């Protein structure tokens, strides 16, 4: 299992390192589909033996269908992994906290470029995910719809003609789809518009969450906007509605950045410069301060204020500064104080020629 993690860590994180539409504001687009096998208890009601049988059945179906590039895809059994390796999967947005905390009978299948994955026996038997850079929900939907169809040829999904796909949580019944876009909105934050903006989005029956989804805070001006309802609309209708709102948010963010540049140029330059200075010259750096500073640096890069720092380098640092990635790189468990020292050293090293 550790060999798979080592191989995974050699990968560039495709949703951060590949180019994507509107990537100056839209970090990534993601769709998850909840699916369950017909005639079998949901994971919460299934015993360990049955959950393991389901893992084998889904893995076999993925291999036979060619979905995710299996059998050459990554396969992870969290029960056999240590805490740091499990956290690696979370930091790379491949697995949820709930999934990694479950007591056995789970498995994670990941395409070799990390663009698509399947959590087996999280809240539902399958949580299928596709994640791509920038704002491209339509493309992500085409990819995950094809993946879902490939698996459906091998597996009998629980489906009701009236309700749609049956899921463990009633809020996912219907399409079983959660579509989201991760947005970087420092302009709206700095101009004081983010509060009213979030309230307006919530009134449209969309959710606004933090960098790692439900229950997380909005560090670094990063906001994840997703649909809340899955019943009563088709997948295309949900995506069209989300596309419309995201397009407006991107336009508002661009206008907010223009306003800052026109009305408070030195305030903006000071914000970007201080962020860069912290990353370039600190010797102890907490996770929260690093994310906030990377957010400020990213604004400067997006607005053409840096010639020697690219957006890919900034994006990669958002992952590399994670506690698990730092400890994996160090080859040992680190105390919080040691992680702060290693995090600062990493940022200095990556930005030393900028």
Q: Once rounded to an integer, what is the mean pLDDT over residues 126-146?
A: 97
CB 183 within 8 A of CB 206: no
Q: How far apart are CA 246 and CA 250, in angstroms?
A: 6
Per-residue model confidence (pLDDT) at position 217: 59
Is 93's pLDDT higher than 70? yes
Structure tokens that stand for 19 in this block: 């180019």
Q: Provide, rounded to the nearest whole percent, the portion of the chain with pLDDT above 90.
A: 79
Per-residue model confidence (pLDDT) at position 308: 81
- Of the pLDDT bands very low, low, confident and very high (cuts 50, 70, 90), residue 16 is confident
Strand (E) or helix (H) holding 208: strand 206-209
Q: Once rounded to an integer, what is the mean pLDDT over residues 26-41?
A: 96
DSSP letter at 156 equals -
Length of the chain: 354
The overall pTM is greater than 0.85: yes
Output the DSSP codes for 227-288: E---SSS-HHHHHHHHHHHHHHHHHHHHHHHHHHHHH-HHHHHHHHHHHHHHHHH-SS--HH
Q: Highest mean pLDDT range out of 18-22, 67-71, 334-338?
A: 334-338
Domain boundaries, the chain: 2-257, 265-350
Rounded to the nearest 10 degrees, the angle between the axes of helix 235-263 and helix 265-281 is 100
- Tens of pLDDT along 43-73? 999 999 999 999 999 999 999 998 898 777 8
Per-residue model confidence (pLDDT) at position 19: 83
Q: Once rounded to an integer, what is the mean pLDDT over residues 304-312?
A: 85
Per-residue model confidence (pLDDT) at position 39: 94
- Tens of pLDDT along 150-192? 999 999 999 999 999 999 999 899 999 999 999 999 999 999 9
Topology annotation, domain 2-257: Creatine Kinase; Chain A, domain 2 (3.30.590)
Strand (E) or helix (H) holding 314: helix 311-320
Is 212's pLDDT higher than 70? no
């Amino acid at each position: 299992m550790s060999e798979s993690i080592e191989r995974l860590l050699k990968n560039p994180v495709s949703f951060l390192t590949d180019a994507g539409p509107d990537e100056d504001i839209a970090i990534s687009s993601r769709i998850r589909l909840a699916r369950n096998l017909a005639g079998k208890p949901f994971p919460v009601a299934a015993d360990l033996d049955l959950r393991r049988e389901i893992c084998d059945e889904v893995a076999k179906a993925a291999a036979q269908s060619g979905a995710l590039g299996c059998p050459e895809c990554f396969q992870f059994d969290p029960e056999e992994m240590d805490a740091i390796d499990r956290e690696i999967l979370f930091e790379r947005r491949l697995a949820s906290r709930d999934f990694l905390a479950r007591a056995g009978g789970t498995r994670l299948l990941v395409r070799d470029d990390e663009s698509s994955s399947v959590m087996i026996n999280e809240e539902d038997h399958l949580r299928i995910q596709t994640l791509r850079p920038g704002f491209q929900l339509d493309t992500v939907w085409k990819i995950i719809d094809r993946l879902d169809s490939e698996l459906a040829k091998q597996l009998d999904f629980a489906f009701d003609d009236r309700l749609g796909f049956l899921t463990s949580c009633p809020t996912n019944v219907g399409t079983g789809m959660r579509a989201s876009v991760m947005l970087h909105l420092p302009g709206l934050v700095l101009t004081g518009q983010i509060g009213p903006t979030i309230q307006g989005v919530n009134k449209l029956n969309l959710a606004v969450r933090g960098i790692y989804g439900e229950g997380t805070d909005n560090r670094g001006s990063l906001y994840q906007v997703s649909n809340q309802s899955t019943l009563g609309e088709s997948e295309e209708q949900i995506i069209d509605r989300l596309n419309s709102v995201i397009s407006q948010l991107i336009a508002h963010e661009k206008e907010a950045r223009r306003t800052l540049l026109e009305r408070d140029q030195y305030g903006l330059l000071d914000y970007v410069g201080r962020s860069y200075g912290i990353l370039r010259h600190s010797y102890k750096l907490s996770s929260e301060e690093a994310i906030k500073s990377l957010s400020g640096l990213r604004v400067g890069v997006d607005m053409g204020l840096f010639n020697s720092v690219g957006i890919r380098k900034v994006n990669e640092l958002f992952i590399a500064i994670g506690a698990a990635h730092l400890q994996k790189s160090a080859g040992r468990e680190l105390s919080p104080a040691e992680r702060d020292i290693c995090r600062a050293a990493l940022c200095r090293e990556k930005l030393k020629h900028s």
